Structure 1
Amino acid sequence: MKLPILLIALVAMVAAKSAPGRMAARYDHFRIYQLTIETNLQMEELKKIHEHISIHFLNELGAIGHKYNVIVGPLFHRALEKTLKFLDIVFEVIVDDLQKLIDDSAVGNDSKMEWETYHSLDTIYEWIDQECAAHDYLECKVIGQSYEGRDIKSIRLSKRPGNKAIFLEGNIHAMEWISSATVTFLLNQLINSEDPEMQRLSEEYDWIVVPMVNPDGFVYTHEVERLWRKNRRPNGYRNESGDCFGIDMNRNFDYHWGGAGWNIDEPCDHWFGGEKPNTEVEIISLQNFVSSFEDGYIRSYMAYHAYGQYVLLPYGHSNTEFPPNYEQMKRIAAAFSDAAADVYGSTFTYGASGLLNYVVSGAAKDWAYGVKNIPFTCTVELRDKGTFGFFLPSNQITEVGLEVTAGLKALVNKAAEEGIFD
């Protein structure tokens, strides 16, 4: 087998699974460094840095001219900084103690669903069940089970026959807790808000929501390893640490699968896209669910991720190829960006993901556009731009929800103006 070039064995990580609610892996005094990569030589050297320093990359390494965040334990702080200075790589310590940041964003009062703290899968699912029981315009289904047998739940809000639908997807990446928090915030607004505009949107459009695509990985981030990204299926490979688990499910969709992306072919790495497309039961369940609706019904597909504050449009597999209605999609994305910024000043950059972010294949938004012919699809990368990154404190959940709600209102209205729902 091909051995991974980025197997991260971080100091002080405990591999054994602990009791629910308690982290096995701890990151006391681990730092997050933000690196600015300006030359190709710096990028090539950064890709090799794991050979002598234990390091965890939080972002896929792509184009130069971007900032990349890495986690390094206390034993390697000095070695990393010495290496970075030698390479003339500009760096900044943005988090001095990762464990404190993780503790600050941990699950708080989990007795009932609200949006001031992060919640466990059980609490999220209990809230979904309660809302489904309380409203006859909600159709709730289990669209499949995960590898470990957990339900993947969906909610379809439909108050009027003949509506076109908008699809919201959350937490395909396990560590991105703000994703499902935001998707459930939006769903709650559609169900319970007294805002006339939200009420109108819930009347004039159907809404299909899958808040938790990756329940196994999500539970794993709560109980064992906060930094876990993939699902939890053993993928058949091993390295010096033992069996390798998981597929990056947002690299596993069968649309230009495997054509681009850093380390998508490294089985033990965070971004492994699988040996072939459509290998994961969670992805098959999601695709079958989308395909169960008649063609032309779903007119927008939005996947929510962290982080970076982007509205990423197709395509991801190329930075030179663009969709036929790319200019139209940019106008719609611009409406989201402008409206979201009006709330707290958060700026969302918009454009093709392969152009703005990095080239990568097999993402959900590209499959929804390229295979299902849904005319507006995007990945919304939520707060922030890297200060907290994947560990956004829970006191920002409501702010994120409010700015994304404002953005969503404007996006839907602009999409309607552009004829997306015709």
Structure 2
Amino acid sequence: MKGSWHCHALLSEVKPALGRYAIRVGLSEKVRYDNYTLYNVQPATEEQLQYLNNLYKDTDVLDFWSVPSTVENHISVVSPPKSREEFEKALERHGISYDVVLEDIQKAFDDQTRRRRKRDSGMYWTNYQTIDEIYEWLHELARTHSNVVTLIQAGRSFEGRNITGVRISRKSGRKAFFIDGGQVDADWLSPTVVTYLINQLVTGDDPEARTASEDFEWHIFPIVNPDGHQFSQDSVRLWMKNRRPTSGSAIGVDLAKNWNSQWAVSGGSFNPSDSNYVGLGPFSEPETRYVSRYIDTIGTNLAGLLSFRAFGQRLLIPFAHTTDPMYNYRDMLLIPDGSTGTIADWVKHRFNPPVVATYQLRDRSQGYTLPVNQVLPSCEETYDSVMAMLREAKFINVL
């Protein structure tokens, strides 16, 4: 390993347990993260940022949930128990500020599933939802609200699962909005937030939701990556990619960076073992290919795209590869630094709808360990934000 910090933990012990390097885990195995520590690290100087960047690129031991990008930006890092002391000493030697967020992330993961209960209504937003629950609910919604909701399928994943969503339409001839979640599998929050939006548009009693469902046609896919989402439920909680074998024993591509807009320019890796591996080229994966083809069918009618993911509490607007303003940059700033190769950048470049944004949901420190008591507030605040965005966009005549 390059740099001034080296961990002597056995690679065979570390790789299966960390999201970034989980490449040799079979479907029958259930990986645990007992006594793995979650840190919030904050570089204060360019030198400290460069050190963390080198560590991010070269480590076989630590799991970076966020990429070191700018000074004073919070970075979430996970360390296995054997490496904790050495990692903390390295940070202290470089004068890098850090906080211990959780000393045992497995306990947090256990809490995310322990109290999961299905309500009589068939769906809930007080905890994280499984793919089976989401898909069953979408089918039921299309059956019970057939005049408004149509079940849609973009295609099939590598393992043969349907990429399922719904089209919500109350009036014909309307401009379309596309919404997606669940591209990154450790992110259990965005699919739940997206189903909350669906529920509000279809059955909610808020007049703004009713207006939004009448003014636009909504095409919504809660889980773009069904194979990886299921794998994160069954085997590796911190799995990040899809499940297609790529090179040697490596499995998966980061779908969030596999779209055909400035592909692989920044924020991704060419190492198939890394969780942010960008693939052999844009749309190399069946999931991104099928979803992009679906978007092509509505592209000329697009009013906007909203993509949801955990975490960071930010609203990202295109484009990540340049500091030059996008086509309606000032308008988007009136409405409310990332990786390239994203769905938002691709849609903005290809179709140029007026409203394109990526929501990074709660929060900045707990990341994928976000407690279940924050799920419903996340849903509610995100819904309010989307309604406010539509309201402001109409006010300034963007829509």
Question: Does structure 1 residue 253 correspond to structure 2 residue 259?
Answer: yes
The alignment covers a number of residue pairs equal to 381
CA distance in 2, matches of 1:71, 1:314: 29
Deviations 1:50-96 (A, max 9, x none): 76872111112222321211111221111111111111111110111
CA distance in 1, matches of 2:262, 2:80: 37
Structure 2 unpaired stretches of 5+: 1-5
CA distance in 2, matches of 1:361, 1:65: 22
What is aligned with 2:186?
Answer: 175
Amino acid of the structure 1 residue aligned with 2:312: G
Deviations 1:270-319 (A, max 9, x none): 11111211111111111111111261x2111000011111111011112x
Question: Does structure 1 residue 280 correspond to structure 2 residue 279?
Answer: no
SS at match of 2:335: helix
Question: Does structure 1 residue 222 correspond to structure 2 residue 233?
Answer: yes
CA distance in 1, matches of 2:328, 2:153: 34
Distance verdict in 2 for CA 1:132–1:52, change over 3 Å: closer
Amino acid of the structure 1 residue aligned with 2:254: D
What is aligned with 1:103?
Answer: 110
- Residues 110, 119 of structure 1: 8 Å contact kept: no
Question: Does structure 1 residue 78 correspond to structure 2 residue 85?
Answer: yes
CA distance in 1, matches of 2:118, 2:12: 32
Question: Does structure 1 residue 93 correspond to structure 2 residue 100?
Answer: yes
What is aligned with 2:128?
Answer: 118
Question: Counterparts of 1:246-395 in structure 2 under 5 Å?
Answer: 246-261=252-267, 263-293=268-298, 295=300, 297-318=301-322, 320-333=323-336, 354=337, 358=338, 360-386=339-365, 388-395=366-373
Kindly state the Cα deviation for residue 137 of structure 1 after the two structures are TM-superposed. Answer: 1.6
Q: Cα RMSD between the aligned structures?
A: 2.2
Structure 1 unpaired stretches of 5+: 334-353
Kindly state the Cα deviation for residue 106 of structure 1 after the two structures are TM-superposed. Answer: 2.0
Kindly state the Cα deviation for residue 37 of structure 1 after the two structures are TM-superposed. Answer: 1.2
CA distance in 2, matches of 1:268, 1:16: 12
CA distance in 2, matches of 1:52, 1:210: 34
- Residues 179, 305 of structure 2: 8 Å contact kept: yes
Amino acid of the structure 1 residue aligned with 2:49: M
Kindly state the Cα deviation for residue 417 of structure 1 after the two structures are TM-superposed. Answer: 2.0
Kindly state the Cα deviation for residue 45 of structure 1 after the two structures are TM-superposed. Answer: 2.6
Distance verdict in 2 for CA 1:53–1:286, change over 3 Å: closer
Kindly state the Cα deviation for residue 416 of structure 1 after the two structures are TM-superposed. Answer: 1.6
Q: Detail structure 1 runs of 4+ shifted over 3 Å in the superposition.
A: 5-9, 11-19, 47-53
CA distance in 1, matches of 2:137, 2:123: 6
Distance verdict in 2 for CA 1:141–1:34, change over 3 Å: same
What is aligned with 2:213?
Answer: 202
CA distance in 2, matches of 1:30, 1:259: 32
- Residues 74, 364 of structure 2: 8 Å contact kept: no
CA distance in 1, matches of 2:398, 2:261: 22
SS at match of 1:323: coil
CA distance in 2, matches of 1:155, 1:146: 17
SS at match of 1:258: coil
SS at match of 2:351: coil
Structure-2-length-normalised TM-score: 0.90
What is aligned with 2:141?
Answer: 131
CA distance in 2, matches of 1:410, 1:162: 23
Distance verdict in 2 for CA 1:363–1:11, change over 3 Å: closer
